[in-house]
Amino acid sequence: MDTTLQDPLVGQELDGRYRVDARIAVGGMATVYRAVDTRLDRVLALKVMHPTLAADGTFVERFIREAKSVARLAHPNVVQVFDQGTDGGYVYLAMEYVSGCTLRDVLRERGALRPRAALDILEPILAALGAAHRAGFVHRDMKPENVLIGDDGRVKVADFGLVRAVNTVTSTTGAVLGTVSYLAPEQIEHGTADPRVDVYACGVVLYEMLTGAKPHQGDSPAQVLYQHLNEDVPPPSAAVPDLAYELDDLVATATARNPEIRPHDAVALLARAREARAALTAAQLDAVPPQALSGAHDNADDRTSVIPRALTMIRPLPVNEDEAPAADGYDRTSRLDPPPPPPRRGPGLRRGPLAIVVAVLLALGVGAGVWYINSGQFTEVPPLLEKTEAQAKARLEKSGLDVGDIEHAYSDTVERGAVISTDPAAGTRIRNNDSVSFTVSDGPKTVELADVEGYRLDRAKSVLKEDGLEPGMVTRAFSDDVPEGFVISTDPGAGTTVRAGSAVALTVSKGRAVDVPDVTGDDLADARAELEDAGLKVEVATERVNSDDYDAGQVARQSPGDGERVAEGDTVTLTVSKGPERIEVPDVVGDDVDDARQELEDAGFEVEEDRGLLGLFGDTVKSQSVEGGDTAPKGSKITLTIR
């Protein structure tokens, strides 16, 4: 086995807490390991920054800042960050471990998914991104590789914040950094990235789930980028016949080349996705995609790449001047021809005398008369989600329906003032002039963050939970003023108004910092006294080690080492020397002096010759300073008497 291929961290313990069991994946910025938190006895993922990047102080500072920000995203569909720290040259994040697979694995194995399955995956993705967008984050590298599907079926989005720190698009370098299959046109053209680039990427991911293939493909990344800039994403039904028009419209809305036409963030797209699902029948949701498309994946451009920015300008899609803007403020211009509206009845019936109507009904028969009466008495509840209260009322009045009760409720995903739900639901068939009630969002419930500085960690966590907040990532730091285990600060700070359910990052004291003195080479008693005087505890390793540098009884090794900073009261482990290794001395008496020297040196000894006056011209060993068969320290000197 070539040991050079072994990962040096596997089998090691970081920060005295995280035992690294196996390497999971290697990326451009970090390596991910499966590890065990030995304090809490739980499996987690450990993301360790590459040492070359860890040497850059600015990069590490941003890495930590982003990690703290992401730790505040307490959302069930976001991979959580538990802890952050450093150990020597290693900078790491302790994260939630998701046992399962990625969406890329599912697509590679199964190809196109049924619409119901695609929406079941898309909606939690949008919920996670929506929480991030409302918290001020943009993912920037959404793709199937960053969607984790647990063994229990839960869907989680990975790499929040970290991709923001690394896989960003910059307008100063003349290059685009990202995964070409999912880049929005404005990312390519201008290097800009707001929540709508994630909306575009989710539209591409939805297309891929529905068809089993990417919408834009080419022999080179440049060809794919050109298509993003100059070609619309085709309707999924062009590749998979019989897909519902609502799915085509959802993809078209999300992937509009003009960002002004797209939903403004993932929350808005989530509302559109739910409207589309509500409009589909069970048969349409469970339509089986053709197996011929399974496995049709070209993953050559799935990796994050650096590509010269294209010079082609984005051409906004034309807007039909006859089409009024949607009530939510976004022109829902479609790139697809919608199905023709049902033919309207001519005005003759309305203007004709009652006698003509009666005659027609009599001529058509009772059944036709019942059909006419019913069709005139029923309508469908229009979609109102994401509309303002005024827009919802106007839409109901336009549909001939009365406005029922209007209630209010908190919502983490729907903007303040927008409709959360309706009763009856959109698409329900009700009688004309019936009333429709709806609930309006009051926005997220907010809480003023209590001052927990100076509290013990467990007490601080209890206070946060009592206030409806979640204890987030815990970072430990030295403090001369705050005792070990007590809170130094919170992020955000005390008094800040935050959303209920938000995570609060805590910085906890490790106690007063102590510089570990160097006690190697000291006698054990002296070493113990020096460390205890510095405020440290001492533990002596049960096994002693051979040492060529230190005599028996002296300290051969210490952990932590000289100059490292630890908390007062921490333990330093000492390993005591049992002196150099002793080995058996070969018997070379009577041997030729050259042969004797060679044998002793091969055994690990130094050789000195004593010839005296009688041995000036001799070449035979008469005696040796340590008799053959005895033991002597490895590397010690053996004197040969020559005669």
| Active site positions, annotated | 141
Contacting residues for 22 by C-beta, under 8 A, at least 6 apart: 10, 33, 34
Place of tokens 């004709």: 352
Q: How far is the C-alpha of 200 from the C-alpha of 208, rounded, in Å?
A: 13
Q: Which residue has the tokens 């809480």?
A: 447
Closest CA to 600 of 612, 583, 616: 583
Alpha helices in 212-265 (DSSP H): 221-230, 245-254
Residue 545: both structure tokens together: 């080690």
Q: What are phi and psi of 432, to 5 degrees?
A: -55, 145
CA distance 547 to 232: 72
Residue 92's nearest CA partner among 37, 161, 138, 46 is: 46
Q: Which amino acid is at 431?
A: R
Find the radius of gyration of the CA atoms of the chain: 37
Cα–Cα dist 231/216, whole Å = 9
Lookup: tokens for 252:
């078209």
Residue that the structure tokens 């053959």 belong to? 628
Q: Would you list the DSSP string of 304-373?
A: -EEEEPP-PPP-PPP--TTSPPPTTSS----SS-PPPPPPPPPTHHHHS-HHHHHHHHHHH-HHHHHHHH
**Sheet arrangement for strand 606-610:** 606-610, 637-642, 621-624
Q: How far apart are CA 40 and CA 34, in angstroms?
A: 15
For the residues of 501-531, what is the DSSP string, one character each? T-EEEEEEE--SEEEPP--TTSBHHHHHHHH
Residue 402 near residue 369 (C-beta atoms within 8 A): no
Strand 571-576 to strand 537-540: parallel, antiparallel, or no bridges (unpaired)?
A: parallel
Phi, psi of 240 (to 5 degrees): -125, 95
Measured from the Cβ of residue 117, the count of other Cβ atoms closer than 10 Å reads 17
Dist. CA 158–CA 125, nearest whole Å? 10
**Cis peptide preceding 318, ω within 30 of 0:** no
What gap in Å lies between CA 377 and CA 178, rounded to an integer? 54
Longest Cα separation, the chain: 152
The span from the CA of 99 to the CA of 94, in Å, is 15
Phi-psi region of 178 (alpha: psi -120 to 50; beta: other; left: phi over 0): left
